Amino acid sequence: MEFDTIAAISTPMGEGAIAIVRLSGDEAVAIADKIFHSPSGKKLVDQASHTIHYGHLKEVDTGEIVEEVMLSLMKGPKTFTREDVVEINCHGGLVTVNRVLQLVLRNGARMADPGEFTKRAFLNGRIDLSQAEAVMDLIRAKTDRAMNVALGQMDGKLSRLVKSLRQKILEVLAQVEVNIDYPEYDDVEEVTIPLMLENCGWVESEITKLLNTSSQGKILREGLSTVILGRPNVGKSSLLNNLVQENKAIVTDVAGTTRDIIEEYVNVRGVPLRLVDTAGIRETEDIVERIGVERSREALRDADLTLLLMNYNEVLSPEDERLFETVQDMNYIVVVNKTDLEQNIDLDRIKELAAGHEVITTSILQDEGIEQLEEAIARLFFSGQVEAEDPTYVSNARHIALLHQAKDRIRDAIDAAEAGVPVDMIQMDLTRSWEILGEIIGETVQDELINQLFSQFCLGK
């Protein structure tokens, strides 16, 4: 494939010690040779691949020195993009790096689109789509655990599993083909159907297993979306503020990635909580206060966890009881707040209503009970849900949607086979399932989807 040469700053913006301007494409080395001058006068084009060179960058027309640099020369195809890649390491600082980038752009490179380096790696066949998406997840990973999921995926774990599923479907399709080609042999169908059911059953159960990891994977990647619910004045805002202040906001620190996404996450004992964003929570709270429980149920539907606040100082109201009804099918922890005041609430009744869910007592005002609350959150999250082993997690929304679709088609095929539908009808469902699985690894995706996916990347990746 032929592409023009692209360039971007591929280290975090800001006052880092070293910043890298990366070039990729057919002209990468030629462009570098125009502006790079080593003390010995050697030309990069004559140098071995995967070598590092010291020298100066100079303006082409004036010879003015722009920057002292170390330059990494990596000739394709053994590079991230499979193209010739030049990385210019310069001293940090926004101004310097920008000057180097501008110099490169003036001498024939084009500014890279977000995600374009990764897109090239994909288009040049170096990585498949799920691996490309993993690069993106890695950039956004909020915790160590999420990082491991992304690394595993980049490593091709998910791809390998998906490929083996597709392989199995192909085997079944081959069997079906035999059946269609030799319909006169009755016994062929007798062999085919049970074999098909067995293989399809296996594919279905593997997809189910993978999908079972998805909620966990999503949570690790996006944070446990947490809503704080309770009557006015019970201490919702106070709890929110306490959690944000006590727990360090999560900052990604992956070498060589752009840290441009800062969100309101807190890490509570290894559990990434997404406090939906402060405004969101306040809004939810307002909904509860103004419009009542019925509407708030809607807002709550997407929450992974609800912290249900009760007032230790007041007798349980009908509204409190209704809140219990609202959360009854959800993941929730009851927080009975204001223990520094006189007890008027019936704790036994609370425990009854909580029906086995944890009940924690706190005085947010005096910073008491918060520890216990955090422990309860961690317990809820880790209790048997996160396996000690390192399974293949699926955490990407697009992958999850496709897996569901593929599974539905397999299920249709199984149902049809059991109902005695002719095998050539079943063939269609199987083929569709095979195609859908292919979309996960990018084997049957359309250009538009590819463009949309890669545009989500950070610049310079």
Least Å from the CB of residue 232 to ligand GDP:
5
Nearer to ligand GDP, 144 or 340 (CB): 340
89 binds ligand GDP (CB under 6 A): no
Nearer to Zn ion, 260 or 286 (CB): 286
Is 279 annotated for ligand binding?
yes
Is 235 annotated for ligand binding?
yes
169 binds ligand GDP (CB under 6 A): no
SS3 at position 152: helix
Q: Give CA 433 to chain center in angstroms.
A: 24
Q: Report the alpha-carbon distance of residue 104 to residue 47 in Å, rounded.
A: 20
242 binds Zn ion (CB under 5 A): no
DSSP state of 368: B
Burial 126-159 (b: 16+ CB within 10 A, else e): bbbbbbbbbbbbbbbbbbebbbebbebbbebbbb
From the list ligand GDP, Zn ion, none, partner contacted by residue 363 (C-beta under 5 to 8 A by kind): ligand GDP
Measured N-to-C along each axis, helices 318-327 and 347-354 cross at an angle, to the nearest 10 degrees, of 30
319 binds ligand GDP (CB under 6 A): no
Site string for Zn ion, 182-221 (x = CB under 5 A): ----------------------------------------
Task: Give, as ranges, the residues between 171 and 230 that touch ligand GDP (CB under 6 A).
Answer: 230
Least Å from the CB of residue 284 to Zn ion:
10
- Reference 336, options 374, 369, 367; nearest CA is 369
238 binds Zn ion (CB under 5 A): no
SS3 at position 283: helix
Nearer to ligand GDP, 33 or 374 (CB): 374
Please identify which residue in 25, 76, 114, 235 interacts with ligand GDP, judged by CB under 6 A: 235
Least Å from the CB of residue 334 to ligand GDP:
15
Nearer to ligand GDP, 363 or 405 (CB): 363
Q: Give CA 177 to chain center in angstroms.
A: 39
Q: Report the alpha-carbon distance of residue 269 to residue 260 in Å, rounded.
A: 24
Size of the site for ligand GDP (CB under 6 A): 15
363 binds ligand GDP (CB under 6 A): yes
Q: Report the alpha-carbon distance of residue 164 to residue 153 in Å, rounded.
A: 15
Q: Report the alpha-carbon distance of residue 381 to residue 270 in Å, rounded.
A: 10
Question: What amino acid is encoded at 367 in this protein?
Answer: D
Q: What contacts 315, CB < 8 A, 6 or more positions away?
A: 344, 345, 346
Q: Report the alpha-carbon distance of residue 427 to residue 2 in Å, rounded.
A: 38
428 binds ligand GDP (CB under 6 A): no
Q: Report the alpha-carbon distance of residue 445 to residue 69 in Å, rounded.
A: 41
- Reference 135, options 119, 112, 113; nearest CA is 119
Least Å from the CB of residue 346 to ligand GDP:
18
Is 109 annotated for ligand binding?
no
Nearer to Zn ion, 157 or 236 (CB): 236
From the list Zn ion, ligand GDP, none, partner contacted by residue 449 (C-beta under 5 to 8 A by kind): none
267 binds Zn ion (CB under 5 A): no
* Angle formed at CA 206 by CA 202 and CA 207, multiple of 5 degrees: 120
From the list Zn ion, ligand GDP, none, partner contacted by residue 341 (C-beta under 5 to 8 A by kind): ligand GDP
237 binds Zn ion (CB under 5 A): yes
Is 319 annotated for ligand binding?
no
Numbered residues of the known binding site: 22, 87, 126, 233-238, 252-258, 277-280, 461
Q: Which parts are annotated binding residues for Mg(2+)?
A: 237, 258
Q: Which residues bind Zn ion (CB under 5 A)?
A: 236-237
Binding residues for ligand GDP (CB under 6 A): 230, 232-238, 337-338, 340-341, 363-365
